């Protein structure tokens, strides 16, 4: 998704179209996550259930939900200039503005875009 974002941002910039990737933070502690039972967990997560129940699923009066939603809210309300232009990473986790080197690699991005175009046709 990030490689496609950078490629589309470059391709669509001359038309004035801004393309960025936006994502939230870690899962939020909400009434829904607090109500999850062991049987609701994916198989790979079941060994972590006791720890999640103790730490991650505790109500926090919406603080974690706000953290998870903050990048999307800010991106929706910001101008392209406030976002830093086009082709940006607006992820709360691991770090705002960070792309791995392979995302920025032109050959890798070309491969991703070729795959996407083949799947869309």
ω before 69 within 30° of 0 (cis)?
no
What integer pLDDT is reported at residue 98 of this predicted model?
A: 61
pLDDT of residue 97: 57
**For residue 21, what pLDDT is reported?**
76
The segments of the chain whose pLDDT lies below 50 read 93-94
Give pLDDT, residue 53.
Answer: 77
The pTM of the whole model exceeds 0.75: no
Q: Can you tell me whether residue 51 is helix, strand or coil?
A: helix
Q: Which residues contact residue 2 at a Cβ distance below 8 angstroms, ignoring those fewer than 6 apart?
A: 21, 89, 99, 100, 103
């Amino acid at each position: 998704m990030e490689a496609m974002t950078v490629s589309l941002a470059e391709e669509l910039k001359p038309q004035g179209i801004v393309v960025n990737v936006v994502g939230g933070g870690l899962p939020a502690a909400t009434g829904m996550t607090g109500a999850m039972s062991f049987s609701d967990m994916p198989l790979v997560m079941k060994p972590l259930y006791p720890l999640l129940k103790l730490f991650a699923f505790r109500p926090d009066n919406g603080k974690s939900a706000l953290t998870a939603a903050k990048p999307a809210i800010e991106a929706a309300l910001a101008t392209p200039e406030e976002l830093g232009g086009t082709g940006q990473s607006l992820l709360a986790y691991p770090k705002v503005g960070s792309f791995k080197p392979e995302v920025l690699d032109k050959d890798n991005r070309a491969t991703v875009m070729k795959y996407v175009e083949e799947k869309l046709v």
